[in-house]
Every structure is written in C-alpha cells, then in structure tokens.
Structure 1
Amino acid sequence: MLRLLVAFALLGFFVVSTPVDAVAARLIAKVDLSSQTMTVVHRGQVKYRWKVSTARRGKVTPVGTWRAKWLSRHHRSSRYNNAPMPYSIFYNGNYAIHGTNQVKRLGRPASAGCIRLHPSNAAILFRLVQREGLKNMMVMVRR
C-alpha cells in the first residue's frame, strides 16, 4: 500500500510540474534563464546543451511553455534596425529562438527578449523543427 501511495505522489508531482503538451512533444527546447543555457530534448533523449543569450537588463524573455508557431530561415528584425535573425523559430508573438552574430555574448543576457544561439546551433535546431514539424516542438523557458 505504501508503494502505491508513493507511486501516486510521484505521478502527481510529474503531472503538475510538466505541461501535458511538453510530455507529448518530440522536440523540446528547455531554456534556463539563470544559467543562460538551452537543453534540446529530441524524442526523449537529451541531444544538445548550448549557451544562449536572453533578455538584457530592462528587457524581458517571457517565462512559460509554447508550441513553435512559424519558421523563417533568413529573418530580419522589423523592430531592431533590420538586425539579422537567421534560423528563426517563432514561439510567442515576436519572440523567437534564432542565431546571432554576437557569439561572444552567448552565455549571458544580451538580447531584447529573444533567445539567441550560435548560428550553427540555430541551424541544427531549425532543421530538427523542420523534420519533426512545428506542432511537435515545444519551447519551455524557466528562471
């Protein structure tokens, strides 16, 4: 009986702490704002851990869980002086995961709110999303 209670307690914790969509997603990009890292989980296996840059002081990278919405291979920012945003994966309005030419700033907050990656890593993630499909990709951002 005790084992059964422990099993239900653990199951309850898992259900409450992990969004249902994320459990079903084949591709998950988990972003940790405190460590400025992204962990890519593909089909249940951790495949990559990369440095990122998220919002600098005075800007915000929203915390939450979203499904990827749309892709743009050669995107340019309409808000920030036509800045290049290669391999963009938009997930929440104007927020995206994308490559950056400011690779020396990766690993610390530097963006206006988007999640920046090294361009080669952004290309890998972009291709994975293309292969798995937008509906099968989740973005999870945590503090």
Structure 2
Amino acid sequence: MRHILFSFGLVTLLLAGNPISASAATLIANVSLSTQTMTVHHRSNVIGRWKVSTARSGKVTPTGSWKAKWLSKNHKSSRYNNAPMPYSVFYNGNYAVHGTNQTSKLGRPASAGCIRLHPKNAAIFFELARREGLNNVKIIVRR
C-alpha cells in the first residue's frame, strides 16, 4: 500500500510541473555580460565556453532567463540593413543568439543587443537547439 501511495504522489508531482519533470532544459546557454562569454551546458556537461559580443554602449542586452522561441538558419536582420544573423536562436522578441561576420569584436560589447558568436559556435548551438527541441533550450543572461 505504501508503495502505491508513493508512486501516486510521485506521478502527481510530475504532472504538476515539479522541477524534476522531464521538461527540464537539456541545453542551457549561460551568458555573462561582464566577461562577454557564453558557457554551454548540454545534458549537464559543459561543452563550450565561447566569446560573445553583447550590446555596445547605448544599446541593451536584457538580463533574465528564457526558453528558445524559434530558429532561423540564414536570418537577415529586418532592423539593421539586412545584416547577416546566421544560425539564429531567438529567445526574447527580436533578441537572438546568432553567428556574426565581425569575429574580431568577439569578447567585447559590439552588438545592438543580440548575443553574437563565432559562426562555427553558432552552428553548434543552433544544431543542438534543433535536435533537443525549443522547449528544452534555456538562455540565461546575467550581468
């Protein structure tokens, strides 16, 4: 009887959205504005710590935590003269993690607010996000 009650309680917790449920993120991007880096965790393993460029002076990269919303492999900016944004993983409105052709600026603030990566790293993150599913991708931005 005790075993049945325990099982019922565990199922109830899982169905109620308890953090131990299967919906926990399997791909996490931790972005540090202060160090201009993104540490990527895939299934609890650190798979990379990459230089990024976030918002330059006068622009903002919002801090917080979001699930990925949509993907665009060959995206062009509708706001900034069709600027290339390869391997875009959008997470907060028009904000995305994406590749850049301005790789010499990685490691310092240079963007209009997005999180820029080297195109090779952006391709890795994009493909993992596609494989894991958007509901399993979390982007965290901290000061």
**Structure 1 match to 2:74:** 74
Whether 1:65 aligns to 2:65 is yes
- Residue type of the partner of 2:75? H
Distance 2:20 2:134 in 1: 16
**Shift, 1:139, TM fit:** 0.1
TM-score by length of 1: 0.84
**RMSD across aligned positions (CA):** 1.6
Superposition deviation, residue 20 in structure 1 = 8.8
| Alpha-carbon distance in 1 for matches of 2:42, 2:51 | 18
User: Structure 2-normalised TM-score?
Assistant: 0.84
Question: Does residue 90 of the first structure (1) align with residue 107 of the second (2)?
Answer: no
Identity %, equivalent residues: 73
Amino acid at match of 2:91: Y
Matched ranges for 1:32-71 at <5 A: 32-71=32-71
> Given the alignment of the two structures, is residue 126 of structure 1 paired with residue 121 of structure 2, yes or no?
no
Q: 1:95-114 counterparts in 2 under 5 A?
A: 95-114=95-114
Q: How far did 1:24 drift?
A: 1.8
**Number of residue pairs the alignment of both structures matches:** 124
- Please report how far the alpha carbon of residue 71 of structure 1 lies from its aligned counterpart in structure 2 after TM superposition: 0.1
SS of 2:41's equivalent in the other structure is strand
Distance 1:20 1:95, change over 3 A: farther
Q: Deviations over 1:70-98 (max 9, x none)?
A: 00000000000000000000000000000
Question: Tell me, what secondary structure is at the counterpart of 2:122?
Answer: helix
Structure 2: gaps (5+ residues): 1-18
- Any gaps of 5 or more consecutive residues in structure 1? 1-18
